[in-house]
């Protein structure tokens, strides 16, 4: 059986992460709310046969849980998860952490957060079945002007963090804080 990856947020800014994971031999379960966005993403990547769609909204805990459970039943437990979820969906994220941690199989979980997460303490978690790591999406400078990262730059940062297995990784910069784009 192929290695199994979960990507939440993949039909938008993480589509290149999906493509890269497929090229590395993963079957990717991509969760999103919109089937239309998923179909558009599938047209834009080069390995669509190795991607399955989980149509679910992480703001709907029952739908979210059922989608993930079905993906595991269909394709096996997750070896890796790259997860972009808004902070006000913490109930679903906590459920995901517990669901992954209860399995005997080891999973690398990369939680992807916006620049404000650079202001929060993060300790992560490492058990026999789970390593929880965080990727912070910052910004970059073009001359004196700051701008947010593009989807390509975000994907590059996420893939670099995954290759380094970094417990805490920042794509771009988060300082000087007062210079971040508005």
The string of pLDDT tens digits covering residues 153-175 is 999 999 999 999 999 999 999 99
Question: Is beta strand 107-113 parallel, antiparallel or unpaired with respect to 139-142?
Answer: unpaired
Residues 6+ apart with CB under 8 A from 8: 30, 31, 32, 58, 81, 82, 83, 84, 85
The CATH number of residue 174's host domain is 3.40.50.720
- Average pLDDT, rounded, for the chain: 94
The predicted structure's pLDDT at residue 82? 98
Q: C-alpha distances in angstroms, 125 versus 48, 89, 99?
A: 32, 19, 14
Q: Across residues 12-25, what is the average pLDDT?
A: 94
| Residue 115 pLDDT greater than 80, yes or no | yes
Domain that holds residue 61: 3-179
Token code pair at residue 168: 């805490």
The predicted structure's pLDDT at residue 9? 86
Least confident of 13-22, 43-52, 126-135, 136-145: 43-52
- Could you tell me if 95 and 61 are in contact, meaning their C-beta atoms sit under 8 angstroms apart? yes
The predicted structure's pLDDT at residue 1? 77
Q: What are the pLDDT digits (tens) for 75-109?
A: 999 999 999 999 888 999 999 999 999 988 999 99
Q: What are the pLDDT digits (tens) for 23-78?
A: 999 999 999 988 898 888 888 888 767 999 999 999 999 999 999 999 999 999 99
Q: Number of folded domains in the chain? A: 1
Token code pair at residue 24: 């590395």
The predicted structure's pLDDT at residue 170? 98
């Amino acid at each position: 059986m192929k290695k199994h990856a979960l990507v939440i947020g993949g039909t938008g800014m993480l589509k290149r992460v999906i493509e890269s994971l497929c090229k590395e031999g993963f079957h990717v379960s991509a969760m999103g709310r919109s089937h239309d966005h998923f179909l558009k993403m599938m047209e834009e990547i080069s390995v669509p046969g190795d991607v399955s769609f989980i149509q679910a909204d992480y703001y709907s805990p029952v739908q979210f849980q059922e989608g993930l459970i079905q993906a595991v039943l269909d394709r096996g437990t997750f070896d890796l998860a790259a997860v972009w979820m808004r902070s006000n969906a913490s109930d679903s994220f906590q459920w995901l952490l517990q669901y992954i941690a209860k399995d005997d199989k080891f999973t690398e979980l990369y939680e992807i957060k916006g620049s404000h997460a650079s202001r929060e303490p993060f300790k992560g978690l490492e058990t026999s079945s789970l390593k929880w790591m965080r990727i912070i999406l910052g910004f970059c400078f073009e001359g004196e002007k700051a701008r947010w990262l593009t989807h390509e730059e975000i994907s590059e940062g996420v893939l670099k963090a995954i290759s380094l297995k970094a417990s805490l990784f920042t794509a771009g910069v988060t300082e000087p804080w007062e210079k971040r784009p508005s």
